Amino acid sequence: MLAKDYNNSMKKFEQLRHAMIAFEKGNSKHIQHFLKVYEFAHIICSEDQVDPLTTQIVESAALVHDIGINTCLEKYQSSAGHLQEKEGPSLAIQMMEEIGYDPEFIYRVAYLVGHHHSYDEIDGLDYQILIEADFLVNMYEEAYSQEQIESVYQKIFRTKTGKYLCETMYL
Ligand SMILES: [Fe+2]
């Protein structure tokens, strides 16, 4: 990637991170959640040597993946996965359009936001890594049992570094 392109995409990423922190003002739990999911996604992409575009998509999706939760709680008094998948994409699209992301990039990130609870529809490495990073955080935040962790590890984890992180922290 050219230095100019890299600087531009970093600037957009920083704006997105800033916008998400502002969006979750007062909700430290949500802010800490998406920052941790982002960091694990970043580690997986970096150590598995994932290509730059996929890495950018995963890292951006990690920041915005739970953007629909607040709307779901207001509208349905529930943050069930399928409701988040319904409400999240349009909010992510709006935020990323305001920052000036490419439509194609926004489309894929919104798709991931709209599918991040659909574990049987994984159709790409970006999707795979987002799901793994989210589980790495949720296992801790939601205090999964050892049995649950082992089951998710077997059924979901595929990347070398995602597996390594899961084993190192929980198994
Ligand atoms: Fe999440």
What's the pTM value of the predicted model, to 2 decimals? 0.95
Share of the chain above pLDDT 70, in %: 99
Asked whether 115 and 85 are in contact (CB, 8 A), the reply is yes
Rounded to the nearest whole angstrom, what is the distance from the C-alpha of residue 128 to the centroid of ligand 1? 14
pLDDT tens sequence across 26-81: 999 999 999 999 999 999 999 999 999 999 999 999 999 999 999 999 999 998 88
Per DSSP, helices labelled H in the chain are 3-23, 28-47, 52-64, 69-76, 81-99, 103-113, 125-141, 146-155, 160-170
What distance in Å separates the CA atoms of residue 97 and residue 116, rounded to the nearest whole number? 21
> Long-range contact list for 70-74, CB < 8 A, 24+ apart?
70/24, 70/27, 70/30
CA distance 76 to 65: 19
What is the distance in A from the centroid of ligand 1 to the CA of 63?
9
Ligand 1 centroid to residue 137 C-alpha, Å: 8
- Amino acid letter, 66: D
Contact 20, 67 (CB under 8 A): yes
Asked if 161 and 65 touch (Cβ cutoff 8 Å), the reply is: no
State in Å: Cα 10 to ligand 1 middle: 22
Task: For the chain, give the number of residues.
Answer: 171
Query: What is the whole-number distance in angstroms between the Cα of residue 2 and the centre of ligand 1?
Result: 32
Give the distance (Å) from ligand 1 centre to CA of residue 80.
Answer: 12
Q: Pick the closest to residue 108 from 130, 78, 140 (CA basis).
A: 130
Give me ligand 1 centre to Cα 66, in Å: 5
Q: What is the pLDDT of residue 4?
A: 83
Neighbours of ion ligand 1 (CB under 5 A): 66, 134
